[in-house]
């Protein structure tokens, strides 16, 4: 079996799930290695995502770990299935790996939910708006690096296109709508774009008005990617040093609660569209 020098977040997640199953079954790495006829160090490498594992071996381990959730096991086997590289692999070596991990996470999700407080959702950016966002990065990016990131962001939006059309719910704070990234004309064009996008059947865009006051997760940019089974949900958070990923159950529960609060308090999609349109006309 081949090894990887730098596993992706998805590959590391598969390994983490296998480790979680093994520990839940109180099985040692020596026992797991014996099941597959391997050295115990190779089990550790599988569980860290460094070593490739086949779908058949995933099923062998899950069976002997007494995992009876067939849907979950099928989802893990799918993660191990060797497939053609995704479009994001074209950017490997030219963009930070974390950006590619976000694209891969979105591609394999069954539903996406985001919350933004400073700028509008990335999956709904116009090119000019995205360019303005990346131009504000410190230390400054070169013109080439900015354009590579803009191109990648535009490509990510294909998951909202017809034929793929992931169900998407975006919560955006009023403050983000009033930020003039790129100037008034760019900001107005971006808001108009949001209004048009929000009319698509699989896209729900909802505004959190300032009158709501304090709200959970204030200041955080959040992506909640629902997996094919709840056990494979993932949260991605933005940070100054790059994206962070978490799938600990306590963290997932916390961010689900944040999103539930937003669902309860944000304007309806229809009122949100009118609200965005009104702000655009004020620019």
Contact 192, 201 (CB under 8 A): no
What is the arithmetic mean of pLDDT over 60-70?
A: 96
Question: Cα–Cα distance between 14 and 76 in angstroms, integer?
Answer: 7
pLDDT at 34: 95
Q: Does residue 246 surpass a pLDDT of 60?
A: yes
Residues of the chain with pLDDT > 90, as a percent, come to 89
Backbone angles phi, psi at 155, to 5 degrees: -65, -35
What is the arithmetic mean of pLDDT over 229-240?
A: 94
What is the arithmetic mean of pLDDT over 182-198?
A: 97
Q: Does residue 2 surpass a pLDDT of 70?
A: no
Across the chain, where does the E strand assignment appear? Answer: 111-116, 168-173, 203-208, 222-226, 234-237, 244-246
pLDDT at 239: 85
| Residue 217 pLDDT level (bands cut at 50, 70, 90) | confident
| Residue 216 pLDDT level (bands cut at 50, 70, 90) | confident
The burial class, CB within 10 Å (0-12 / 13-18 / 19+), for 184 is: exposed
Supply 52's token pair.
């490739």
Q: What is the dihedral of CA 84, 200, 208, 281, to 10 degrees?
A: 120
Q: Does residue 1 surpass a pLDDT of 60?
A: no
Q: Does residue 84 surpass a pLDDT of 70?
A: no
Mean pLDDT of the chain: 94
- 75 alpha-carbon distance from chain centroid: 17
**Separation in Å, CA 204 to CA 93, 153, 272:** 34, 19, 10
Question: Cα–Cα distance between 97 and 102 in angstroms, integer?
Answer: 9
Backbone angles phi, psi at 252, to 5 degrees: -60, -45
pLDDT at 85: 81
What is the arithmetic mean of pLDDT over 184-191?
A: 97
What is the arithmetic mean of pLDDT over 120-145?
A: 97
Q: Does residue 262 surpass a pLDDT of 70?
A: yes
Bridge partners (DSSP) listed for residue 114:
170, 223
Is the N-terminal amide bond of 238 cis, ω within 30° of 0?
no
Contact 205, 198 (CB under 8 A): yes
Residues of the chain with pLDDT > 70, as a percent, come to 98
- Which CB contacts under 8 angstroms, 24+ apart, belong to 94-99? 94/148, 95/148, 95/149, 95/152, 96/242, 97/6, 97/8, 98/242, 98/243, 99/149, 99/152, 99/243
pLDDT at 188: 97
| Residue 163 pLDDT level (bands cut at 50, 70, 90) | confident
Q: Does residue 15 surpass a pLDDT of 60?
A: yes
| Residue 267 pLDDT level (bands cut at 50, 70, 90) | very high
Q: Does residue 5 surpass a pLDDT of 80?
A: no
Question: Cα–Cα distance between 175 and 196 in angstroms, integer?
Answer: 20
Q: In order of start, what are the domains of the chain with their CATH numbers?
A: 9-80 (1.10.260.40), 87-282 (3.30.870)
The more confident residue out of 278 and 239 is 278
**Threshold 0.85, pTM exceeds:** yes
Q: Does residue 3 surpass a pLDDT of 70?
A: no
């Amino acid at each position: 079996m081949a090894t990887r020098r730098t596993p992706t977040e998805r590959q590391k997640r598969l390994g983490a799930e296998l480790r979680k199953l093994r520990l839940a079954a109180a099985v040692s790495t020596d026992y797991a290695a014996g099941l597959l006829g391997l050295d115990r160090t190779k089990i550790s490498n599988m569980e860290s995502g460094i070593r490739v594992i086949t779908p058949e071996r995933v099923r062998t381990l899950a069976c002997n770990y007494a995992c009876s959730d067939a849907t979950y096991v099928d989802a893990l086997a799918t993660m191990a299935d060797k497939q053609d590289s995704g479009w994001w692999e074209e950017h490997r070596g030219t963009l930070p790996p974390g950006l590619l991990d976000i694209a891969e996470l979105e591609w394999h999700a069954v539903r996406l939910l985001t919350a933004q407080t400073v700028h509008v959702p990335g999956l709904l950016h116009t090119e000019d708006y995205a360019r303005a966002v990346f131009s504000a990065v410190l230390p400054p990016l070169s013109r080439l690096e900015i354009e590579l990131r803009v191109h990648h962001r535009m490509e990510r939006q294909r998951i909202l296109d017809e034929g793929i059309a992931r169900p998407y719910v975006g919560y955006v704070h009023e403050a983000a709508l009033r930020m003039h990234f790129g100037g008034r004309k760019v900001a107005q064009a971006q808001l108009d774009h949001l209004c048009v996008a929000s009319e698509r059947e699989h896209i729900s865009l909802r505004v959190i008005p300032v009158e709501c006051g304090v709200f959970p997760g204030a200041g955080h940019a959040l992506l909640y990617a629902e997996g094919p089974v709840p056990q494979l949900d993932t949260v991605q958070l933005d940070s100054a040093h790059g994206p962070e990923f978490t799938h600990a159950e306590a963290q997932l529960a916390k961010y689900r609660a944040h999103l539930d609060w937003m669902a309860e308090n944000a304007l309806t999609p229809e009122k949100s569209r009118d609200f965005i349109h009104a702000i655009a006309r004020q620019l």
